[in-house]
Amino acid sequence: MYNFDFEKPSTIADAVSAMAAEEAQALGGGQTLIPTLKQRLASPSKLVSLSGIAEMKGVCEADGGISVGGATTHATVAAEAGAYPALAALASNIGDPAVRNRGTIGGSLANNDPAACYPSAALASGATIETNSREIAADDYFQGMFTTALEEGEIITNVRFPIPEAASYQKFEQPASRFAMVGVFVAKYVDGVRVAVTGASEDGVFRWTEAEEALSGNFSADAVEGLSVSGDGMISDLHGSGDYRAHLVKVLTKRAVAAAS
Amino acid sequence: MTQKNQYKLNVNGQTVEVTAEPRELLIYTLREQLNITGPHIGCETSHCGACTVTIDGKSVKSCTMFVAQAEGKEITTIEGLGGPDALHPLQEAFKEHHGLQCGYCTPGMITRASKLLEEIPNPTEEEIRFGMAGNICRCTGYQNIVKSIKAAAAEINAAKEAAQ
Ligand SMILES: Cc1cc2nc3c(=O)[nH]c(=O)nc-3n(C[C@H](O)[C@H](O)[C@H](O)COP(=O)(O)OP(=O)(O)OC[C@H]3O[C@@H](n4cnc5c(N)ncnc54)[C@H](O)[C@@H]3O)c2cc1C
Ligand code: FES
Ligand code: FES
């Protein structure tokens, strides 16, 4: 691993100034970044740890939804997001206990791994990603695998989730890492149903709009029975082919609807 | 640019000061600077759990944390749970129920299990397997690890009841 300087600010303002240094990079729980640094795939001059910023930690209820601090660990979301049970359940199934004790929602959303769980929750919930400088709607935020709307040095400070009437996340685990081979998050709001799929597409997390239309008219697993998902553009690797992943998208959507209704 | 820094840690109840580059992984600080060799390095890629320690009351893989992140924290390793003269109930149970063969995964297993039993004092087999998911064993096939953790839970709960 290349060497770096280390800073641990205690306010967002101090973190923003620390991030202004050339080649500075934010450090959340390090569960993705530390392995990346070990492989010398990144060489930041400075790591700015966000774990000492109290205003970026914890879950609170805020007008019809919940607000999760960007440096909140998966374990804390699992324990404190009871107002949004499907989100708490998703967090409680990420990786393993030690990963959940360190990894954060901000790190997961900033990284936007195509097999990560949180991006599907943010997209299906129509969440708002708050940064130190602006608010970004989930629909504009995810821009392909490992790519987001974040600018250089921008920090995710909060994520706001409106709470749906019903929701469920179903993950088909890749058993060695417990990342999603495919994961589907279904959320039913008063004005319609949103379905977000992770783990499957070469473009990263996406909304399965045909299923959304079908489910908005009839919220039952039968409603998606007649739909089909193409294997084109789906990830093919040693864990499964594109066609297999496409198949899983529908299976998991049906399971999510059944679990939510 | 980067230089070595002083870091103050509390390891197994003792305050220690180490000099290290911020990039040093905590597992190396423990093993090579402090000679605390209970936590093992199995994969160094955050998958096997052999390096599991407890930091401020939470299970953490010490191969995926920098010493700089551990500044000011309380760290417990297997050495802090019990030793040859006074085994922790989990150490005793692993010994009695063949919860280990080569022993490589054992310090991480027991350190993690000690937290699991605080989170869930009387876990079912399913809860044990879920709660121990980050700890891999190449020898035992897990059956006897589950058995050992159940036995230790019974022991700890009985002792708690007797104390009341
Ligand atoms: C064994 C294992 C199993 C896992 N299983 C799963 C799983 O099942 N599902 C899943 O979704 N994930 C899984 N993960 C990934 C885990 O959830 C990570 O914690 C997460 O992806 C990254 O979060 P972090 O806080 O550790 O970020 P870091 O590793 O610290 O950072 C990741 C990236 O995000 C940036 N960053 C961090 N915080 C912020 C912020 N607040 N604002 C802006 N940028 C930021 C960093 O600069 C870096 O580029 C697993 C990881 C491991 C090691
Ligand atoms: S050595 Fe840390 S998880 Fe394997
Ligand atoms: S006893 Fe050998 S790895 Fe677990």
Report yes or no for ipTM above 0.90: yes
Name the residue among A32, A227, A198, A16 with its Cα closest to residue A121. Answer: A198
Label residue A246 exposed, middle or buried (CB < 10 Å: 0-12, 13-18, 19+).
buried
The angle, 0 to 180 degrees and rounded to 10, between the axes of the packed helices B143-163 and B106-119 is 50
Kindly state whether B101 is in contact with chain A, defined as any CB-CB distance less than 8 angstroms.
no
Pocket flag, ligand 3, residue B101 (CB < 6 Å): yes
Terminal C-alpha separation, chain B: 58
Collect all residues of chain A within an 8 Å Cβ-Cβ radius of residue B1.
3, 5, 45
> Tokens 């001059």 correspond to what residue?
A45
DSSP B69: G
Instruction: Tell me how far the alpha carbon of residue A189 is from its chain's centroid.
Output: 19
Determine the atom of ligand 2 nearest the C-alpha atom of B136. Answer: 4
What tens digit of pLDDT does each residue of A170-192 get?
999 998 889 999 999 999 999 99
CA atoms within 13 Å, Cβ hemisphere of A259 = 18
* Interatomic CA distance for residues A246 and A163, integer angstroms: 28
Give the number of beta-carbon pairs within 8 Å between A and B: 76
* Interatomic CA distance for residues A169 and A39, integer angstroms: 32
- Is the distance from CB of B134 to CB of A102 less than 8 angstroms? no
Task: Please judge whether B69 and A49 are an interchain contact, meaning their C-beta atoms are less than 8 angstroms apart.
Answer: yes
Cα angle A113-A181-A248, degrees, rounded to a multiple of 5 = 130
Is pTM beyond 0.90? Reply is: yes
Nearest-10 Cα torsion for A68, A79, A172, B147: 160
- Is the distance from CB of B105 to CB of B136 less than 8 angstroms? yes
CA dist list (Å): A134 to A65, A121, A149, A156, B68: 19, 20, 11, 10, 30
Q: Is A56 helix (H, G, I), strand (E, B) or coil?
A: helix
DSSP H or E stretch at residue A173: strand A166-173
What tens digit of pLDDT does each residue of B76-128 get?
999 999 999 999 999 999 999 999 999 999 999 999 999 999 999 999 999 99
Determine the atom of ligand 1 nearest the C-alpha atom of A73. Answer: 25
Atom 2 of ligand 3, residue of closest alpha carbon: B102
* Substitution candidate for ligand 2 out of B29, B31, B45, B135 with most atoms within 8 A of CB: B45
Q: Edge-to-edge strands of the sheet including A166-173?
A: A166-173, A180-189, A192-198, A206-207
Collect all residues of chain A within an 8 Å Cβ-Cβ radius of residue B6.
none
What is the pLDDT tens value at each position of chain A, 261 positions in all?
999 999 999 999 999 999 999 999 999 999 999 999 999 999 999 999 999 999 999 999 988 899 999 999 999 999 999 999 999 999 999 999 999 999 999 999 999 999 999 999 999 999 999 999 999 999 999 999 999 999 999 999 999 999 999 999 999 999 888 999 999 999 999 999 999 999 999 999 999 999 999 999 999 999 999 999 999 999 999 999 999 999 999 999 999 999 997
| Domains of chain B: residue spans and CATH | 5-81 (3.10.20.30), 89-163 (1.10.150.120)
